[in-house]
Amino acid sequence: MNENEQAPETKLTSTKRRWAQAGKFLTGRIARPETDRLPPGQRLVKNWPVLDLGQQPHLILETWRLDVTGLVENPLSLDWNAFQALPQSDSSSDIHCVTSWSRFDNRWHGVLTRDLLDHVMPRSEAAYVMLTSYDGYSTNLPLADFAAEDAILATSWEGEPITRSHGGPMRLVVPHLYFWKSAKWLRRIDLRAADSAGFWERNGYHMRGDPWREERYSGD
């Protein structure tokens, strides 16, 4: 499935599309991350809820690959061993889901997106990133958001390998945006000059998704 194809309709996708149409969870408040740790309209949870498009791909490390393509000087196609050979880092961050839950102090291990970008060397005209996952999911990001200081291609959460249900063996984590931007089961990172919508963005969700500005839906 490519980024322009629709994933099969599920109860979750139809429900979230209705939420976008109705503006569910919107409070109209704007918070500041430097002073407000919990964004507007969010509630704290201690567990980590599982949300996906209705399928969880079973990925084998021996055949897993991550491709970095598009407007880069050095395109990459990494197998698992090559990915593990990249600089490894630890990170801690809060995460915020558009469905209104937040979880504080998540500990990650993996490859910082900045370290990956140092290898591929984005060209001057690169301004956006399209992410594509093994389940056919896609989402878009400004390159500046993808390259945030705490953004990480995570293989471990709380000291254990990330489970299949949460996007293992590797998923993106971009903590300062709503968590639908942090693609699970990441397969391809494509750097582009122009922005284009991913799966949820084509279904009524915001093109950027800043939780402190409540950028939940298109038009917010």
Say which residue, 118 or 1, is predicted with more confidence: 118
List the domain range (segments joined by +) for residue 109. 11-213
How many domains, in total, are found in the chain? Answer: 1
Residue 218 pLDDT: 84
Q: Does 118 fall in a domain?
A: yes
- Give the confidence band of 1 by pLDDT, cuts at 50, 70, 90: very low
Q: Does 112 fall in a domain?
A: yes
CA distance 66 to 20: 31
Q: Does 218 fall in a domain?
A: no
Q: Does 205 fall in a domain?
A: yes
CA distance 29 to 81: 45
CATH code of 60's domain:
3.90.420.10
H helix or E strand, kind and range, residue 13: helix 11-22
Q: Does 1 fall in a domain?
A: no
CA distance 200 to 205: 6
Q: Does 21 fall in a domain?
A: yes
pTM recorded for the entire structure: 0.86
Q: Choose among 128, 132, 129: nearest CA to 184.
A: 132
Q: Choose among 142, 139, 128: nearest CA to 201.
A: 139
Q: Does 143 fall in a domain?
A: yes
Say which residue, 32 or 36, is predicted with more confidence: 36
Average pLDDT of the residues of the chain: 89
Weakest mean pLDDT among 36-50, 93-107, 151-165, 179-193: 36-50
Locate 69 and state its tokens.
Answer: 């393509």
